Amino acid sequence: MPRQSQLDQDMSEWELPGLALHHFLDELRAEGPLAKIEYYGMPAYLVTSHDGLMRAFKDTVNLPPERAYQMGIAPLIGENFQSMSGERHRLYRKLATPTFRPRMVDKMDSYMMQEVADELIARFIDCSQTDMTRSFSLLYPYIVIARLLGIPRDEEEKFADWVVGLLHFTSEPERANRCRDELWAYLDPVIEERRRNPQDDVISQLIHDDVDGVKMDDALLKSHIGIMFSAGSSTTHDSIGNLLYALLSTGEWNRVRDNPDLRDQAIDEALRWEPAVSFLPRVTKAGSASIIEGVEIPADSFVFMGIASANHDASRFEDPHRFNIDREVDAKSMTFGHGPRMCPGMHLAKMNLRTTLDCLLERLPNLQLIESEGAAPSGTIFRHPAKLLCSF
């Protein structure tokens, strides 16, 4: 699609599969570090350059991160550390995320993750082909999260439905409200029980941990479980799909199968090449205009952090559109954000991706993409393949 007609279309409708997004972003970036777009009928802006994005992530005065969360998911699930600012954000982030620190993730049972991957593979291994999104990547992260939380096995799929439903708060508000009510009704007795009888699971840890004498009350516990696990699972699901697409569409599957030492680099490169969160919303401060990248922007405007654009900025990455597992990307990639809000789940996400990749390479060494339709990641805010029809 030519550029102007793309800009005439609302950003919420952009599909731009595969390299179409990145070529379009090249054109926008060439014109400047901030592009004007439209989002749900409102004028909005997109930060396009890598340097500009690093500045924008740190500019918590003009772009207070909590505002988008206060307007987005907080009215559905209540206050949580993402919708808090300053010291409160720091305190509750510390309380809510000890489970995800690298030391804790290292101690986590990767056997449990392998077991989940094996169970899912067993469901389709006797068929000649399968859609890997539907039969694997869509289910895997939700089941892992349910097991970390200590949800009984026969309730895992119900739990996954609620968690996915919460994320549809913009497009399907009624479904999101119903999922919230059912999830809260489910969690109330579980929290009460874990308060009395702590187990070795994440819910017990969230209940009993304190920071400077502060503990989470039940309302905060529920909103944190809702936000962390829905955001963490959908991004992991998208990233597994993007990783599979990257390896299968470029012929690198066989190389990482035969060279386990390349696997961590391949994961980092896939996270850079097609980040699951390609555009992340911020809202400018209330009351007065802000200057972002030299442009005056009215109060209360949407500014999107162009993570996918920064990750393909040629001033930072040589030959950026090439999926190149030999490059060193980790420090420069913006996939997990930057600054005070940087993703606390990134170590868990990477561990999930590595475990998944090892299992799939071992059980399905000859995995091949057999249909290109729907396979290239598409969409903007969350980006992933619609379908990965594969033989194995």
**Which residues here bind ligand HEM, judged by CB under 6 A?**
65, 82, 93, 100, 228-229, 231-232, 235-236, 239, 275-277, 280, 335-337, 341, 343-345, 348-349
Q: Which is nearer to ligand HEM, 93 or 257 (CB)?
A: 93
Could you give the strand order of the β-sheet that contains 42-47, starting from the edge strand earlier in sequence? 34-39, 42-47, 302-306, 279-283
To which residue do tokens 């420090």 refer?
A: 331
CA–CA dist 23, 153 (Å, integer): 45
Q: Which is nearer to ligand HEM, 1 or 214 (CB)?
A: 214
Q: Which is nearer to ligand HEM, 101 or 387 (CB)?
A: 101
Residue 287: exposed, middle, or buried by beta-carbon count in 10 A (0-12, 13-18, 19+)? exposed
Least distance to ligand HEM, CB of residue 102, Å: 13
Least distance to ligand HEM, CB of residue 117, Å: 16
Least distance to ligand HEM, CB of residue 243, Å: 9
Half-sphere exposure of 177 (CA within 13 A, CB side): 4
Instruction: Return the amino acid letter for 211.
Output: V
Least distance to ligand HEM, CB of residue 338, Å: 8
Q: What is the CA radius of gyration of the chain?
A: 21
Least distance to ligand HEM, CB of residue 307, Å: 6
Cβ neighbours for 202, distance < 8 A, ≥ 6 positions apart:
99, 148, 149, 150
Any idea what DSSP says for residue 211? B
Least distance to ligand HEM, CB of residue 345, Å: 2
Q: Which is nearer to ligand HEM, 55 or 254 (CB)?
A: 55
Q: Which is nearer to ligand HEM, 100 or 302 (CB)?
A: 100
Residue nearest to ligand HEM (CB): 345
Q: Are 78 and 223 in contact (CB under 8 A)?
A: yes
Q: Which is nearer to ligand HEM, 124 or 356 (CB)?
A: 356
Least distance to ligand HEM, CB of residue 124, Å: 24
Q: Which is nearer to ligand HEM, 7 or 160 (CB)?
A: 160
How far lies 368's CA from each of 339, 340, 371, in Å? 39, 40, 9
For residue 389, give the nearest of 118, 140, 127, 114 by alpha carbon: 127
